[in-house]
Amino acid sequence: MSKWLDNAIFYEIYPQSFNDTNGDGIGDIKGIIEKLDYIRELGCNAIWLNPCFASPFGDAGYDVSDYYSVAPRYGTNEDLKLLFEETHRRNMHIILDLVPGHTSTEHKWFKESMRAEKNKYTDRYVWTDSIWEEPQGMSCLRGISDRDGSCAVNFFSHQPALNYGFYKPEPDKKWQQSMDDEGPRATLCEMKNIMRFWLGMGCDGFRVDMAGSLVKHDEDGKGTIKLWQNVREFLDREFPDAAMVSEWGEPDKALQGGFHMDFLLHFGPSHYNDLFRCAEPYFSSRGKGDISEFVKKYKENYEKSQGKGLICIPSGNHDMDRLARHIHDDELKIAFAFLLSMPGAPFIYYGDEIGMNYVENLVSVEGGYGRTGSRSPMQWDSSTNAGFSSASSEKLYIPLDKRPNRPTVSAQADDKSSLYNEIKHLIAVRQSHNALKSKGKIEFIYAEKDSYPFAYIRSMENEKILVVINPSGKAASFEFSCTLRECIYSFGTEISADNGKITAAPQSAGFYKIR
């Protein structure tokens, strides 16, 4: 396994919106290289780069038209190779975003698959045998070519589904190929070639988009697990240090498939949104939230994954509201005390470290729709376009947050009490204690329904650290007997431990070594 993941803290970069060096209003790879020292100084030692491959950008690059070429608006393959080298020169790592489930309709594979004559790409996608039949349970494209059939799509109508086979093909539907048929095997072989190409170029692994969705009609994910185990065998042979992080939302299945870590998704059963993005978030000072269902599901996943703890809880990402849309000021600092003290690798979405706002009421850009407000340009300083670009404002990829008090890196770096500096301090604390890193064990001490505070113990070898977090605006207590040896981190008033009771002051967080 990639040992560097044991203490990895990821910074997610949405390349379109991070740093523009050529004045076209769109971020680029040279802009990322220019800011590597900033990322390292924050304390992050790993990068997740959102899709940067050639694309018509109907879905912000998640509709790939050429997996082997960097999109010209970001630069060249040589630029990306240089980014890998410069990242490694700083003792950091970088993973690319791999989208294996679908391509763009502009991809040459798809154009060839539309032909009526059989060819090597005929079975690269999921096609029915008749224009009148649609794939059950899936949307489709039809009437777009001379080929008699309908093509399944994964989400947007311009994202045709690649064919990895059906777990249990229905006998009367000949177009439902098995995982072992020639078409699905060719698709998987090509995806390995793509991984081989970029790993050979110097990338350190992949975050895999919707990793659990590849095999169709897949009972309990068994077929998809088998597929990824096949990939894992290939990587172990050729690239044993390659890191694999899944967007699956079911850690037990992802880890069985050979992934090192799995993301908790903002949809589905994780209750992740109970923490930050609902009518009454747990991390709001109003103190009306509930963390119990989140903890219940987390414990279930933790046990299923055999206590490996490699469950990623991101601050946010390009698909969800900014943290600062729902919680603010000290609430954000306390939220990061939680995010940076849990098992698994933390992921910080660009700009969340300064509390960037969700920009309301934007017209959709490149398939963003309601997500567009979370993808606005990074705010570096108080200069033109917040230091993101020298382009005129109307050329910017997405409009900037126009609020006069919008946060910037330069202002927060100079303010010792800023969110930026609090996160920087929290990362340093995490990296100084093995119990707080990715593989440290967790035991939940207090996470009762509709109650505060929230408490757990992180441990590794001889180190045990009690974490107590109280986002609410009122003091809160719970019964627990322990001896507090040393406070290694505190926000707000320190907790007290008397007569078998722990009391946390309003809006406080603390990490304590205990016996």
Q: Which helix (H) or strand (E) holds 387?
A: none
* pLDDT of 107 over the 60 cut: yes
- Compute how many other C-beta atoms are within 10 angstroms of the C-beta atom of residue 352: 25
Q: Which tens digit of pLDDT belongs to each residue from 204-234?
A: 999 999 999 999 999 899 999 999 999 999 9
Average pLDDT on 373-402 reads 98
Q: Which CATH architecture has domain 3-101+184-430?
A: Alpha-Beta Barrel (3.20)
| Mean of per-residue pLDDT scores for the chain | 96
Q: Which CATH architecture has domain 441-514?
A: Sandwich (2.60)
Average pLDDT on 414-419 reads 98
Helix axes 419-431, 330-339, angle to 10 degrees: 20
* Full-model pTM: 0.97
Average pLDDT on 109-127 reads 98
- How far CA 368 is from CA of 29, 148, 197, 306, 397, in Å, comes to 21, 32, 29, 37, 12
Q: Which CATH architecture has domain 102-163?
A: Alpha-Beta Complex (3.90)
Q: Is the peptide bond before 453 cis (omega within 30 degrees of 0)?
A: yes
Least confident of 43-47, 299-303, 406-410: 299-303
According to the model, what pLDDT value does residue 308 have? 65
- How far CA 483 is from CA of 2, 304, 319, 480, in Å, comes to 36, 32, 43, 10
Separation of CA 416 from chain center: 29
pLDDT bucket at 309, cuts 50 / 70 / 90: low
The full set of domain ranges for the chain reads 3-101+184-430, 102-163, 441-514
According to the model, what pLDDT value does residue 303 have? 86
CA 272-260-343 angle, 5° bins: 45
Q: Which tens digit of pLDDT belongs to each residue from 450-494?
A: 999 999 999 999 999 999 999 999 999 999 999 899 999 999 999
pLDDT bucket at 424, cuts 50 / 70 / 90: very high
* pLDDT of 275 over the 90 cut: yes
